[in-house]
């Protein structure tokens, strides 16, 4: 027997009174914004050489071990090995004031790698401009559904404008298509899914499919295979040559051997701007091999992509226009907030074929015009943040030329660092391709270079890391933050040279440069 519906008018009134707290007026919004802006200003004013990057190698006595191993630790347990103190305010039934919440949130600034700091030269530092933050605020406030023209035509067109602008930058035809994603790995995954559906249409062949990457390809590429249901596919890591680019002769040999073993070469990934060394694979030669064996060519330009704006780096992008797909990160080269990737597929029809959505019954009113290229049909995402304003607004406010100049400045700073270090005794320095400079103590052990790293980063004003390329360990400086300028590099160079001097190494009359 069905239960009778009981309605309580007074209860509904009480619920309305409570739920109306979610509706703010202009005075309340302004108060929230001003208070939040004060916290932002306090943080941003610390992004200079008078304050640390937020990271330093901790003294041995301050390091703590995590009791549970990585396989046993829960998601709420810190696994970094460092004691980070109390976590954020707990989620609870009763509200706290905005002042209390903001004060607690602002502790993030005290317990993070400050990637916008001019001394942060580890990984590929993320940055965010003020117009990008305002773009996010506008997107969240207007909150359009950005994946279908019927929901918001202008939001869709703004995204398509950015995609087409990026496509033209890389030499793609107007028939290309793409989408904004949450980052480079997702952009790569969307491209790889299109490659899979085009080159390996039957799942029974996944286990004999082969992906070819270089030994310096970003680790996110191989990770995508698992998410795409191709965990059993074969991954070949091709060695790099002396210029740290993929060795195409070895690539071809790998493919020929795999064909003899009845395997199915379907995808090769070339990188323009490796995250280890900033090097570029020879895209035209890789394209020729991919064409010869009917393979999909994807170009990973997540770090290096927007250096295509700079005339001095254009030669590195020769042949990229022939790639079947490209991934690039606006949250790197366009200084957008984290969570901003972009995927491009040269033949947009293939991307659409791989992702087209069939609407549920509850959306029968949603008229689909075959002429509309809705973002929801160009990615697996069906709901996402409206990402376009965080790119579009800075491009409008600053103009493309400002980003070009900022990126060119980083290329020049890399040259500057290289030239200043290369003739200094005891240092071997690798000639930079983009904005990453590798260096090490010449003819010294890895432990000596780790000691040098520790001295350079001890006071926290600079954050660099160590990487291994072709079996050799190097200290790695990635000059990418838009706040990093020549004066900062002078401080860094002095820091390096003083650290070398403090190690008491014998003088070497030769200069070491690669």
Query: What domains, with CATH codes, occur in the chain?
Result: 134-357+364-398 (3.40.640.10), 401-513 (3.90.1150.10)
Tokens read off for 33: 């914004």
Q: What is the 3-state secondary structure (H, E, C) of 409-469?
A: HHHHHHHHHHHHHHCCCCEEEECCCCCEEEEEECCCCHHHHHHHHHHHHCCCCCECEEEEE
| pLDDT over 70 at 364, yes or no | no
Which residues have a Cβ under 8 Å from the Cβ of 91 and sit 6 or more positions away?
none
Residue 372 binned pLDDT confidence (cut-offs 50, 70, 90): confident
Cα 317 to Cα 18: distance, rounded to the nearest angstrom: 57
Give all strands (DSSP E) within 190-317, no chain letters.
209-214, 234-238, 264-271, 296-300
| pLDDT over 60 at 243, yes or no | yes
10 Å Cβ neighbour count for 341? Answer: 26
> What's the count of helices (H) and strands (E) in the chain, helices before strands?
15, 12
Q: Which residue has the higher pLDDT, 85 or 66?
A: 85
| pLDDT over 60 at 400, yes or no | yes
Helix axis angle for 248-260 and 283-292, nearest 10°, is 20
Q: What is the CA radius of gyration of the chain?
A: 26
Nearest residue to 463 via CA among 480, 448, 447: 480
| pLDDT over 90 at 82, yes or no | no
Residue 57 binned pLDDT confidence (cut-offs 50, 70, 90): very low
Chain-wide mean pLDDT for the chain? Answer: 92
Q: Are strands 325-328 and 341-345 parallel, antiparallel or unpaired?
A: antiparallel
Q: How far is CA 110 from CA 47, 369, 464, in A?
A: 12, 50, 19
Q: Which tens digit of pLDDT belongs to each residue from 261-280?
A: 999 999 999 999 999 999 99
Handedness of CA 191, 252, 288, 247 (dihedral sign): positive
Residue 463 binned pLDDT confidence (cut-offs 50, 70, 90): very high
Nearest residue to 183 via CA among 376, 387, 372: 387
Nearest residue to 276 via CA among 100, 473, 423: 473
pLDDT at 511 (0 to 100):
56
| pLDDT over 70 at 370, yes or no | no
Q: Are strands 296-300 and 264-271 parallel, antiparallel or unpaired?
A: parallel
Helix axis angle for 26-44 and 98-105, nearest 10°, is 20
CA angle, residues 499, 505, 59, in degrees to nearest 5: 40
Helix (H) or strand (E) segment spanning residue 133: helix 130-142
pLDDT at 76 (0 to 100):
52
SS3 349: helix
Cα 427 to Cα 432: distance, rounded to the nearest angstrom: 15
Residue 359 binned pLDDT confidence (cut-offs 50, 70, 90): confident
pLDDT at 80 (0 to 100):
46
Report, as an integer, the average pLDDT of 315-320.
98
Cα 426 to Cα 500: distance, rounded to the nearest angstrom: 8
Helix (H) or strand (E) segment spanning residue 474: strand 472-478
Q: How far is CA 328 from CA 183, 220, 266, 483, in A?
A: 8, 13, 21, 22
């Amino acid at each position: 027997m069905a239960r009778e519906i009981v309605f309580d008018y007074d209860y509904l009134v009480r619920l309305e009174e409570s739920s109306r707290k979610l509706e703010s007026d202009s005075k309340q919004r302004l108060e929230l914004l001003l208070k939040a802006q004060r916290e932002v200003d306090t943080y941003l004013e610390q992004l200079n050489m008078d304050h640390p990057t937020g990271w330093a190698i901790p003294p041995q006595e301050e390091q703590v071990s995590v009791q549970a191993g990585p396989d046993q630790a829960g998601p709420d347990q810190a696994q970094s090995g460092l004691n980070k103190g109390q976590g954020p305010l707990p989620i609870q039934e009763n509200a706290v004031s905005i002042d209390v919440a903001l004060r607690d949130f602002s502790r993030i600034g005290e317990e993070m790698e400050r990637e916008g700091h001019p001394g942060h030269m580890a990984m590929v530092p993320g940055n965010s401009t003020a117009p990008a933050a305002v773009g996010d605020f506008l997107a969240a406030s207007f909150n359009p559904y950005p994946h279908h023209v019927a929901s918001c035509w202008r939001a869709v067109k703004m995204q398509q404008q950015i995609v087409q602008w990026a496509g033209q930058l890389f030499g793609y035809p107007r028939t290309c298509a793409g989408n904004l994603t949450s980052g480079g790995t997702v952009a790569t995954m969307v491209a790889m899914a299109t490659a899979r559906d085009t080159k390996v249409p039957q799942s029974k062949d996944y286990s004999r499919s082969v992906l070819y990457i270089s030994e310096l390809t970003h680790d996110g590429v191989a990770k995508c295979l698992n998410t795409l249901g191709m965990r059993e596919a074969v991954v070949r890591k091709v060695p790099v040559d002396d210029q740290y680019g993929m060795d195409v002769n070895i690539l071809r040999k790998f493919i020929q051997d795999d064909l003899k073993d009845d395997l199915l070469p379907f995808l090769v990934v070339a990188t323009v701007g490796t995250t280890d060394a900033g090097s570029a694979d020879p895209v035209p030669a890789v394209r020729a091999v991919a064409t010869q064996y009917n393979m999909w060519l994807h170009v990973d330009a997540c770090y290096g992509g927007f250096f295509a704006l700079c005339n001095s780096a254009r030669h590195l992008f020769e042949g990229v226009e022939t790639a079947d797909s490209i991934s690039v990160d606006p949250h790197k080269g366009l200084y957008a907030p984290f969570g901003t990737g972009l995927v491009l597929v040269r033949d947009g029809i293939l991307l659409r074929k791989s992702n087209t959505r069939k609407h549920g019954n509850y959306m029968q009113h949603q008229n689909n015009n075959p002429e509309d290229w809705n973002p929801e049909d160009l990615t697996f995402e069906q709901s996402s943040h409206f990402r376009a304003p965080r790119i579009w607004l800075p491009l409008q406010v600053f103009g493309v030329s400002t980003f070009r100049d900022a990126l060119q400045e980083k290329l020049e700073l890399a040259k500057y660092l290289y030239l200043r270090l290369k003739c200094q005794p005891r240092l071997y320095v690798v000639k930079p391709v983009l904005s990453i400079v590798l260096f090490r103590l010449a003819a010294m052990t890895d432990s000596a270079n780790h000691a040098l790293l520790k001295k350079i980063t001890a006071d926290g004003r600079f954050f660099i890391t160590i990487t291994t390329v072709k079996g050799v360990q190097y200290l790695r400086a990635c000059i990418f933050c838009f706040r990093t300028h020549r004066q900062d590099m002078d401080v860094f160079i002095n820091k390096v040279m003083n650290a070398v001097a403090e190690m008491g190494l014998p003088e070497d009359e030769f200069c070491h440069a690669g």
